[in-house]
Structure 1
Amino acid sequence: MPIDLRSDTVTTPTEKMRDAMRDAVVGDDVYGEDPTINRLEQLAAEIVGKEAALFVTSGTQGNQVAVLSHTQRGDEVILEERSHIFYYETAGLATIAGVQTRTIKGINGQMPVAEIAAAIREEDVHCPKTGLICLENTHGDSAGSILPLSYMEDVYQVSRQHQIPVHLDGARLFNAAVGLGVDPKEITKYTDTVQFCLSKGLSAPMGSILAGPKELIERARKWRKMLGGGTRQAGIIGAAGIVALEEMIDRLQEDHTHAKALAEGLALIDGIDIDAESVETNMIMFSIGQLGMTAEEFVSRLNKFGVLANPAGPNRIRFVTHREISMDDIDKTIEAVKNISASNIAKAKL
């Protein structure tokens, strides 16, 4: 089996999840009659400290439903310029929600709070209304960086002053909570709504949760139906989500430990540029610019060693650890990179 470091989305369900899926008591969820989905939504809401929750088929759908539920067509949404909602969700904000984006360059996913405040529109016939502020924690394009609680609070205070809701794309919310050593509620209390994935590090086969105020979640349920996300006997999938929330959160620390070990090993290799100290969760990014090859070439060479990875730019590589990556896999990956580096440096000297 290859060592698959492309993403934590490649995780497969555990045996307990498979058993739970087989034995799940199900009903028609569109009618609200699937007891397993109802239990999953109640559990999820309790974990993140919100009134209600909604099971959605993916994180992208959860984010889209959240924006639709918070805003009206023609509103403007403030979000970080490399955020997943803006950069990787196929322009859903424009094509489906009909909102305009106001992007702000962040550092490690953190938009300067003063710039967020300055971006909020005053009442003016010429301008759109600022309808929503979106944050992402952890921030995927910043190598899984965690937004500090103090930052979350500062943004939340600005949002309260201007009466603008905050939506958190918390696809890897629990990685952030484990990394900070806090209850997830300590993060989500600074948001109106939160979306988090069951299908990444938590290892469920699919699905995400949108949680927030009861009235908004009821609106979101209708938007979900419009987007084709109203499913019937969804408890077969929801059963795995319950196992994910009950058993898979605490073990994320192991993924973080492996990521740190991988980063520290890579930092010792000639031609690899990485800041191992900055690794906070289960994701690392590094530059191979000194090796004189493109990211695509590097990934192709890795494949020959049985290691799968994704480019994250012309000379940038991303590795993501997860439940199916062992310490032995980490050692083998470091050795593979060491071999590629040594081979290329030797070739350059000829």
Structure 2
Amino acid sequence: MTAVDFIDLASDTKTRPTAAMRAAMAAADVGDERAHEDPSVNRLLARCAALLGKEAAVFLPSGTMANEIALAVHCRPGDAVLCDATSHLIGFEGGGPAALAGVMIEPIGGRRGIFDAQALRAAIRADAPYAPRQRLVVVEQTSNLGGGAVWPRATLDDVAAVAHAAGLATHMDGARLLNACVASGVAAADHARGYDSVWIDFSKGLGAPGGAVLAGSRAFCDEAFRIKLRWGGAMRQSGIIAAACEYALDHHVERLAEDHAHARRFAESVAGVPGIAIAPGDVETNLVYFDVDAVAGGAAAFVAALQARGVRMVAMGPARVRAVTHLDVDAGAIERAGALVRAFCEEKRQNTL
């Protein structure tokens, strides 16, 4: 099997810079980013601050660092952060909220990673010296474990209003915010308007080799930059990476719609296959989640068998599997992936007869 034949649906982080993006990186005008002297970084920050409707922005190596810095700026050790029970903060950041910011997480049960204003209101309590002080509300747009679900703008606005009325700050994990923008037709600044801080990632569907931009008020970003230096996040001549991010904004945002269409097509192609349970109507963006039964071997065995046949996906639980579309996977690859899944499940069914 060649690299061309292999279909990698493990994550949109598997994207590789295109030839044109590499050329933009090679031609980047650079300087010392730590001293605010990199023109490519400065241009990207001004552009992202405007895109997100915020006063200022900070360039960071990763989205996880963006989340962790935001917690450290908004909170003090011992404070509590409210977020959905499926949040990236809880399951995929190596215990960073506790280890780095010293905060406690108070999860809220939502639907597909989305909680509403009523659920938040019920989770907010009166301040008392024997309980952790609730300080911050976090939303994740789109919701990863929610299957790429898009928070409706009205829900975002209502949640932010409840949080602010209670004296809490708000933060948006915008790892796939631009997927939400393309799917909903709502501008990034409108999604983020009720949130004191927000970030976007360039290393997922946008296809850059790294980089994230965290935005907020000038005072917030000044403190975020201080923590970035403390945690070793300065990158010196990082305009090389910023050039890739800017190229992605110019060329890879609108095409996210192709990834969404490919995700829907993949979901439709495996719907109704014996051994697989999936709701194609739940596929809003580029994430596809489905369950496999014991006949198909459970998630781990299913994923291993499909990878041996040329399709890589990820087991997300005993029965849960995730597939993610991105710019390195075209329509033909999606059709082949669906066919390989169908053939495997039919083979397993025949073996049980």
Fold-level similarity (TM above 0.5): yes
Q: Does 1:86 align with 2:79?
A: no
CA contact (8 A) 1:76 1:99 kept: yes
Aligned to 2:64: 60
Instruction: Please list the CA deviations of residues 272-295 of structure 1 after superposition, one character each: whole Å capped at 9, or x if unmatched.
Output: 110001110001011111524121
1:66 Cα deviation after fit: 0.6
1:232-276: CA deviation from partner (whole Å, max 9, x where unpaired) = 111111110111112211110000000001101110322211000
Aligned to 1:144: 148
Provide structure 1 residue ranges, at least 5 long, that are not aligned to the other structure.
Answer: none
**Residue 301 of structure 1: CA displacement?**
1.1
Aligned pair 1:173/2:177, yes or no? yes
Contact 1:121 1:128 in 2 (8 A): no
In the alignment, is the contact (CA less than 8 A) between 2:116 and 2:158 conserved in 1? no
1:294 maps to 298
Matches within 5 A, 1:18-167: 18-167=22-171
Matched-pair contact (CA < 8 Å) for 1:53–1:217: yes
TM-score (norm 2): 0.97
Aligned match of 2:251 = 247
**Residue equivalent to 2:215:** 211
Report the Cα offset of residue 16 of structure 1.
Answer: 1.9
Alignment correspondent of 1:268: 272
Contact 2:116/2:159 (<8 A) preserved: no
Instruction: Supply the distance in 1 between the matched residues of 2:13 and 2:189 (Cα, whole angstroms).
Output: 24
| 2:205 counterpart residue number | 201
Displacement of 1:121 in angstroms is: 3.3
Partner Cα distance (2:100, 2:231) in 1? 9
Q: What is the aligned-residue identity percentage?
A: 38
CA positional deviation for 1:322: 0.4
Letter in 2 for 1:266: V
Measured in 1, the distance between the counterparts of 2:183 and 2:158 equals 20
Q: Which residues of 2 match residues 276-287 of structure 1 at below 5 A?
A: 276-287=280-291
Amino acid at match of 1:194: V
Q: How does 1:290-329 map to 2 (within 5 A)?
A: 291-329=295-333
Is 1:342 matched up with 2:351?
Answer: no
Q: Structure 1 runs of 4+ off > 6 angstroms?
A: none
Aligned partner of 1:129: which letter? R
The superposition leaves residues 50-75 of structure 1 with CA deviations (integer Å, 9 ceiling, x where unpaired) of: 11111110010000011111111111
Aligned length: 349
Query: 1:49, 1:185 within 8 Å by CA — same for their partners in 2?
Result: yes
Counterpart residue type for residue 160 of structure 1: H
What are the Cα deviations for residues 64-99 of structure 1, in whole angstroms up to 9, with x where unaligned? 011111111111110111100111101111111011
Name the CA distance, whole Å, in 2 between partners of 1:27 and 1:292: 54
**Letter paired with 1:184:** A
Contact kept? 1:204, 1:244, Cα under 8 Å: yes
CA distance in 2, matches of 1:71, 1:288: 41
Distance of 2:127 and 2:259 partners within structure 1: 47
**1:147-183 alpha-carbon deviations (Å, 9 max, x no partner):** 1111101101101211211100010000011111121
Q: 2:295 corresponds to which letter in structure 1? A: L
Deviation at 1:118, TM superposition (A): 2.5
Question: 1:62, 1:209 within 8 Å by CA — same for their partners in 2?
Answer: yes
Q: Distance in 2 between matches of 1:85 and 1:123?
A: 24
The alignment's C-alpha RMSD in Å is 1.1
Of 175, 186, 195, the residue aligned with 2:190 is 186
* Other structure's SS at 1:63 match: helix
Q: Distance in 1 between matches of 2:325 and 2:129?
A: 49
Gaps of 5+ in 2: none
In 2: Cα distance, 1:106 partner to 1:229 partner: 33
Give matches, 1:5-24, under 5 Å: 5-24=9-28
For residues 184 and 118 of structure 2, what CA distance do their matches in structure 1 show?
A: 24
Residue 305 of structure 1 aligns to which amino acid in structure 2?
Answer: R
